[in-house]
Chain A
Amino acid sequence: MNRLELTGLTTRPAQVWGGVRLVPLVREAPVEGLRLHREVYERLGAGIVELGPRDHYVSYIPHGLVADWSTGDLEVPVGGRQSAAYGTQLGGGRDVPRTLRLPRPPLHRMAKRRPGDRLRFLPLHLALEGYLALHFGGPTTAWEEWSRRALRDGLSPRAEDAYLGWSVRGLGDALRIFEIHPDQCGVMVYVSDALAAAFVVPHPEDYRLLHASLVEDLYGELMHQYALYGAPVAEFGARLGDGAHIRTLAELRAAARGQQRVWEEAHESLFARELLDSSYGFDRVYRMGSFTLWRFLPPFVRDGSGQHIGETVTDHKGRVAYLKTFRLSDAQIRRGYLLHVLAGADWELSRAAATLGSSREELVLRIRAAGFSELLKGNV
């Protein structure tokens, strides 16, 4: 599997607000046997995740998602009581346990099994950690150019910047006034007509509850700048021309339906192409019954198109039940590409330079410009 398979999801007309275009994705029937719930973390989302005995991931983590693939009695989730959210929980009945105000211990692992058929994972952070951990171990061969620290600690500590949805101008308003379609299970967010994020869930009910959480997600630097400096985007409204061939109401209706089809095709071939046509490197995180949680990395090709990292849950046929993506900025793509080339050349500078078609000095400059100067000895 190397592609995202969005079968079963239909595109509906976009809704535009300022520079933000939201494209709803609708499922005819919800995915059987998988539901997603949200759990909210307190302490303003400052979170630490223990990845392993020595590795920690520190970020703003406002919420996590709990995937529930228990079959049968969906009405009373058995594990639901144990996994009550720390922090606020809205809209609970009498059965909801009282919120415990205990200091939260660091989260253990990005994806953690919960009692019952449930899995807690941290949306986007799972994907972002996959990107940060790219060749995290550092040089595999101790060439003399690499510093002692690079050989000892690898790329640690490694950091990347992202913007909170609230700070992307206009996104909060666009999400607030967005009119959710019945049976809507996903949305594609475009800022200045660049794909910022794709979000798909298995069930319309889940989408309705999780729609607002999009504004607490991470967005790349590029999206923040596009929203800040970009102009309002045009609405691709329906156009029926002069309608000279239309003689009856039925023909007019057919023409109107045609407009809907045109938009669907235009969206898939024009807007979402960069997401759907890329081939990704998938990395399996967890297997839950017939579903599998993956995270994926883009090929890091530098052809100017957007590159997305993300995580997805697919069913046994490879169809997407859950999807969340993050668009990398150009600098992030460059860094990923550079690390790939270096690792491919076994961290030998002259070989990597040959692959890139540049001189060794240029490559050294490039590594330093990418923010990896710590890896190189000072005299190189």
Chain B
Amino acid sequence: MRTSENSADLVAAEDVLLFANAAITATGQREFRSGALDQQLSLDFLHTYVRVNYRRLYAASLALDINDHNAARIVLGLLATAGEASAEERRTEGRLIAARLARLPPQRVYRLFGEVRRAGINNRRTRAIMRDWLAARPDLGHDAVKYRSGVKTAARHVHLRCPQGAEPLAEVGAFLFRPGKLPRYEHPLLDAWRRAHYEQGAVAELPFTVAEGFAARHGMKREVFLKRAAPRMTRLERLRTHAVTQRPDVDLAAMPLTRLALYVLALPFEQRAALRTELTGALRTAARRAAGKHAGSWGPVHAVLDDSFSSSGSGQKRRRPLAVALACHHLLEVLAAPGAYRGLWTSGRGDALLVRPWGPTPLGMRVLDALEPGPGGAEPDRLVIVSDGWDNAPAGLAGEVLRVWRAQLDPGRRTAVVHVNPVYDADGFDVRRLAVGVPTAGIRDAEDLPALVEIARFAEGRTGAAELHAYLDRRVALFLGEKATEKGAVA
């Protein structure tokens, strides 16, 4: 009896890890080796399976570093099947949902609200969750201009009251549902939107995405328009619109690490070489910020980084795996003890800034190189492998090397091996693994690496299910607690 309970527990723990890996990596977009439809089907199944069987853990995964796509899907799933949860569960779920929604980018949330409406989920609890989120928006007038249809759908769905005299709600209501009726608006953005229909000067006051449409309508010159709109652009819009030849007036070092890596890889080689000090400096600063208190705490670290052709990703996720590898390279450099880091690219190239996704994946040979003692004969404390797991020159050598090495050369587990994989394998319902004994974790942003290495520990099968549950509870408490203190600080 006990054994069956134990094995059920273990299966549950395995399923949860599998789901966490999927929820971190998969976005339902095309990958190098599978199409968008395969990914979506595979992800759909996984969501339904975990929601039906492990509802509590399904909700708890909102507290992990899962990506926005899956967070929105989980919220939708929980709201759609609220009847299956007990009152106590609903309360926890509600808090988790509210905390997660507060962290999602607004466009994601508005899209989610649209899906909620399309799915016909309309009950008091859902409406309250949506209304609370809308009330917490700093400026609903701005949202009404920028995410017009989103706000309109949400307002309609939650029966948002826009009584006279309650500014700016009354004006937003008039703006959304009775456009053209008010002669002018008090809210500057709403008024700018009204004036932008006939006055070119007002266009630059609007958020960039909205202004672009008006600029096209007025036939404004692109360069003139971009120059005028620059102060109101977001950081990504500024990066996107700046010409390749000129430097962006963005503080690169302030960007998140993986985003920055993606930006660096999008530059042509000549420009990367020309801006070498600037880019490398920005990457290092971002990595130091991401490492935070963990900096220098990992001892000697060796890494194998995949820059094979498959790391080019797909048309929808351009160079994502390579960017994750590049970001991990810089992060690990900071995490490792000073001077005790060695990063090896699968292609054998040494210059991290000029990497390009090309060539086969001789992962086995690179792992062997990485297992060699570092300078001074010190064996590495950790070996980190960043790869999509398709080891093809020859296939499966990396897994064999790691297995034999663990069995014969390092039975005392002196060196910890962890494999992080940025690509979701639709056929396997998980990220692709290298070997049985090597813990594998999905990764989306390199910044989460320290947390992921912690989760990967459970995948090794040496820690029990109870510890995993304890870990999840801790993460949930942290997630909700942090949110509460933030709120307290604002109030």
Contact = CB atoms under 8 A, between A and B. Distances in A.
Contacts of B399: 237
Interface stretch (B99-107, B109-117, B403-411, B469-477): B403-411
B75 to A, nearest CB: 34
A180 B359 contact: yes
A238 B396 contact: yes
A248 to B, nearest CB: 7
A15 to B, nearest CB: 5
B476 to A, nearest CB: 39
B360 A179 contact: yes
B395 interface: yes
A238 B395 CA distance: 6
A182 interface: yes
Interface in A234-254: 235-240, 242-244, 246-249, 252-253
A60 B392 CA distance: 35
A246 B395 contact: no
Nearest to A173: B33
A256 interface: yes
B365 A177 contact: no
A259 B365 CA distance: 11
A182 B359 contact: yes
A246 B405 CA distance: 9
B310 interface: yes
Contacts, number: 93
B309 A263 contact: no
Contacts of B403: 240, 243
B64 interface: no
A4 to B, nearest CB: 25
B368 A249 contact: yes
A309 B164 CA distance: 85
Contact of A177 (B33, B368, B395, B396): B33
A13 B404 contact: no
B394 interface: yes
Contacts of A15: 360, 392, 395
A16 B391 CA distance: 11
A256 B364 contact: yes
Contacts of B32: 177
Interface in B59-81: none
Contact of B394 (A13, A182, A249, A255): A13
Contacts of A249: 368, 371-372, 405, 409
A240 B399 CA distance: 10
Interface in B367-419: 368, 371-372, 392-397, 399-401, 403-405, 407-409
Contacts of A253: 368
A12 B394 CA distance: 8
Contacts of B25: none
B393 A12 contact: yes
A3 interface: no
A177 B371 CA distance: 29
B27 interface: no
A239 B32 CA distance: 27
A59 B347 CA distance: 42
A238 B394 contact: yes
Given A12-B393, A235-B395, A252-B401, A179 B408 contact: no
A260 interface: yes
A302 interface: no
A181 B407 CA distance: 32
B21 interface: no
A247 B408 contact: yes
A289 B133 CA distance: 78
Interface in A1-44: 12-16, 24
Contact of A237 (B33, B310, B395, B407): B395
Given A248-B409, A249-B409, A13 B309 contact: no
A314 to B, nearest CB: 28
A246 B409 contact: yes
Interface in A40-69: none
Contacts of B394: 13-14, 236-238, 259-260, 263
Contact of A256 (B308, B361, B397): B397
Given A235-B395, A249-B409, A260-B394, A240 B401 contact: yes
Given A177-B33, A182-B359, A252-B401, A246 B408 contact: yes
Given A179-B360, A252-B405, A239 B400 contact: yes
Q: Give 8 nearest A-B pairs by CB, closest first.
A: A237-B396, A13-B394, A243-B404, A238-B397, A179-B309, A237-B395, A179-B360, A240-B400
Interface of B: 32-33, 308-310, 347, 358-361, 364-365, 368, 371-372, 392-397, 399-401, 403-405, 407-409
23 contacts: A12-B360, A13-B392, A177-B33, A179-B359, A235-B396, A236-B394, A237-B397, A238-B394, A239-B400, A240-B400, A240-B401, A243-B403, A243-B404, A248-B409, A249-B368, A249-B372, A249-B409, A252-B401, A252-B405, A255-B404, A256-B400, A260-B394, A263-B394
Given A177-B310, A240-B401, 10 more contacts: A13-B360, A24-B360, A179-B360, A180-B358, A239-B400, A252-B368, A252-B401, A252-B405, A255-B404, A256-B368
